[in-house]
Amino acid sequence: MNRSLAIFGGSTLIYIGLAILMGVLPGIWLSKVPATPGLKPLTPLEARGRNVYVAEGCVYCHTQQVRPLSGDKPFGRPSAPGDYAYQTPELLGSERNGPDLSNIGKRQSSSVWQYIHLYEPRAVVPQSIMPAFPWLFRIVDRVPEGEKRVPLPPQFAPSGAVIPSDDGKALVAYLLSLKQPVLTQAQPGAPVSGSSSGAAGFDVAKGASLFADNCASCHGAEGKGVPGTFPPLAGDQVVNAANPKAHISTVLHGLSEKAIDGQKYEAQMPHFADQLSDQEIADIIDHERSSWGNHGALITAADVTAVRANEPLQKAAAPAAQPPPTQAPAAAFDAAEGSKLFADNCSVCHGAEGKGVPGTFPPLAGDPVVNATDPAEHITTVLHGLGGKTINGQKYEAEMMPFADKLSDQQIADIIDHERSSWGNHGPLVTPADVANIRAKK
């Protein structure tokens, strides 16, 4: 009996020792880790929002731990121990059905966007699987003094005005408090610095990826925005301006309550000066200036550096020195692939030299649609076909087949760019994004 008690007592001591070693001591050590410089304690409203975050189960689908992996870069820098100094217990999470929220207060600092997203996620992210949280809001006939209605897109708006409840306000306050302080090089987890104004040109794929990670949630993948809530970028005057200073300044420093084309947008656009390098900002801006039919002059990282330092832009005085915006995708145009695709799909009618067959199939060499500055009609024709068309006074009865279901946006862009750069043609080149934009309008 005494021996059994001794064994039991010994086992208990072992378990207690392991608990101290694995739980208590790390807890004591972590409690002494200083807060990351610049980290702020939660306000009472933010602390209440943290409780709402837990009660509503947000932690089941969202993490607050950015790993040092390339796939986590869109979420922020790798998390550091001091980031959690003012939040106990830490809401690290283990599932990512939705994005990591460690830096959501910087990535998406618009309270309007956050309210819309909570009320009906698909109003701002059409493919979202997140449940709606309408019980965090009230629907009223008249907005009380001191309150602001949530400007929902018309198709998602109820008959009354939507205003956030106290719990809704607290939750959004907490989400906006989730901002990673910038680490210095001496701090663990700090990213290795590099030149912010490298000489690299516009990387089309990188620009598209950065736009998707940082901008598409408000402005949309096709630059259409959300009517009445977030402005469109397609056709925007600032995006297409010859002098890019206002465009650069907006991305660097953000914008709020701006009237654009007679429409006032109350939602605040976050600033990216502290989140993205000059090269990354240049890639985003060049993506915006060369997509969705936009034709703004392209910029470089050096231009962003100059605006960041509040210096005059050199090329503002000589805009003609800019490369034509339509030439931006030239690097993505595979001339050999375009020639091959044309030979396989088009030359049987239009001829290898683009001369067509007189009276039967129209020539492409010198054709006004192929050489038009606006490629919309050219793209539409290749996507959806054509029949009974009169070209240069000649009516062609033969029907051209559509390629929308046969070829990808990249393949169609390659064919069109081959036609626009062959047989003496001089039409501006197009990108797969241009094709996708026209395809989506059908």
pLDDT single digits (tens) 7-48: 555 566 666 656 555 555 555 555 667 888 888 899 999 999
pLDDT single digits (tens) 173-231: 999 999 888 776 445 444 444 333 333 356 777 888 788 778 877 887 788 887 777 88
Sorting pLDDT into bands at 50, 70 and 90, what band is 312? low
Q: Is the pLDDT of residue 136 over 90?
A: yes
**Residues facing residue 390 across a β-bridge:** 395
Cβ neighbours of 200 (radius 10 Å): 13
Whole-angstrom distance, CA of residue 410 vs CA of residue 151: 37
Among 212, 138, 178, 148, which residue's Cα sits nearest to residue 58? 178
How many residues are listed for the chain in this entry? 442
User: Residues near 236 by Cβ (< 8 Å), separated by ≥ 6?
Assistant: 260, 294
pLDDT of residue 4: 54
pTM of the model: 0.53
User: Residues near 332 by Cβ (< 8 Å), separated by ≥ 6?
Assistant: 204, 431, 432
Residue pointed to by tokens 């283990």: 94
pLDDT single digits (tens) 231-245: 888 888 888 888 888
pLDDT of residue 198: 37
Whole-angstrom distance, CA of residue 359 vs CA of residue 371: 21
**251 vs 195, higher pLDDT:** 251
Q: Is the pLDDT of residue 68 over 80?
A: yes
Whole-angstrom distance, CA of residue 408 vs CA of residue 192: 38
Q: Report, as an integer, the average pLDDT of 152-180.
A: 92
pLDDT single digits (tens) 374-417: 999 999 999 888 877 788 777 776 678 788 888 888 889 889 98
- Token reading at 253: 């420093």
Sorting pLDDT into bands at 50, 70 and 90, what band is 326? very low
Residue pointed to by tokens 């309408």: 134
Residue pointed to by tokens 């199939």: 361
Among 281, 273, 278, which residue's Cα sits nearest to residue 252? 273
Whether the Cβ atoms of residue 72 and residue 33 lie closer than 8 Å to each other? no
pLDDT of residue 194: 39
Whether the Cβ atoms of residue 238 and residue 231 lie closer than 8 Å to each other? no
Determine if residue 57 is left, alpha or beta; phi over 0 gives left, psi from -120 to 50 gives alpha, anything else beta. Answer: left
